[in-house]
Amino acid sequence: MFGRKTQRNTDSKSDPDSTSPEEAKWVAQAKAGDSAAFARIVEVYQRPIFNLCYRMLGDVAEAEDAAQEAFIRAFLKLHSYDESRKFSSWLFSIASHYCIDKLRKRRMQWISWEELPPWRWLPSDDKPQPEEAMVEVETTQELYGLLNTLPPDYRAAVVLKYWHDMPYEEIAEALDTTVSAIKSRLFRARKMMAEAARQKTEHQLATADIALAEG
């Protein structure tokens, strides 16, 4: 469930805490024009980047296109990659920003996700505030509906944190912002999701009362 410490998701490629020597070698070779080295990078990160795009966009075809576009952009920007920065965070940043732009361009953001995390609770912080509500979500479809109420920037932070289990520092780096901003987005996202769940529950209760009265 959200709020409980979980083992790091290997899909996020978040471990180790810095670019591995092998990855650094591939990057250096790719910068020098070795297409096979970049193909190796794509092979290693294809699944986690696709998963990120799918969880952001909710459509397999769109996620495949977004992942391909992310790798194309990474290849074109490889010369500007700062080697002091963790490579996976840099790559996730490119994919995240592309998906955020896609979401912002959508007029309708209702999307159908088939894959959602198994947790039944909204996320809580390491030090939850008294006013934060823990709202039980009965089905993954309801959880999706709550996620769908979030702005793209907030959704990106939630996906990176609670699906890919990335630490605040890496999320901030990937989304080109500060740790405090990420914590603020997650806090506000939790409140928005809790409020959306509360309103839905109240609506369901009111509907049930009307049905009973008419019966």
What is the Cα–Cα distance from 130 to 74, expressed in whole angstroms? Answer: 42
pLDDT at res. 84: 84
Contacts 24+ apart (CB under 8 A), 22-25: 23/87, 23/88, 24/83, 24/87
pLDDT in tens, the chain (215 residues): 333 333 334 344 444 456 788 888 999 999 999 999 999 999 999 999 999 998 888 788 999 999 999 999 999 999 999 888 889 889 999 999 999 988 887 644 444 444 444 443 344 444 444 344 444 444 556 777 778 788 999 999 998 998 888 899 999 988 999 999 999 999 999 899 888 888 877 766 666 656 566 65
Q: How far apart are CA 84 and CA 210, in angstroms?
A: 62
Residue 1 domain flag: no
- pLDDT at residue 16, as a whole number: 46
Q: What pLDDT was estimated at residue 141?
A: 64
Does some domain include residue 185? no
Does residue 191 lie within any of the structural domains? no
pLDDT at 90: 92
- Long-range contacts, stretch 101-106, CB < 8 angstroms, 24+ apart: 102/56, 102/57, 102/62, 102/66, 103/56, 103/57, 103/152, 103/155, 104/152
> Which CATH number covers residue 23?
1.10.1740.10
Angle CA(52)–CA(53)–CA(59) in degrees, nearest 5?
A: 125
Q: Is the pTM of this model over 0.85?
A: no
Give residue 140's pLDDT.
58
Residues in the chain: 215
Within a domain: 141: no
Does residue 50 lie in a domain region?
Answer: yes
CA distances (Å), origin 51, targets 60, 65, 208: 9, 12, 39
The DSSP output letter for 8 is: P
44 domain-assigned: yes
Residue 55, in any domain of the structure:
yes
Range of the domain at 49: 11-105
Q: Into how many domains does the chain fold?
A: 1
d(CA 140, CA 145): 9
Collapse the DSSP code of 121 into the 3-class scheme (helix H, G, I; strand E, B; otherwise coil) and give the result. strand
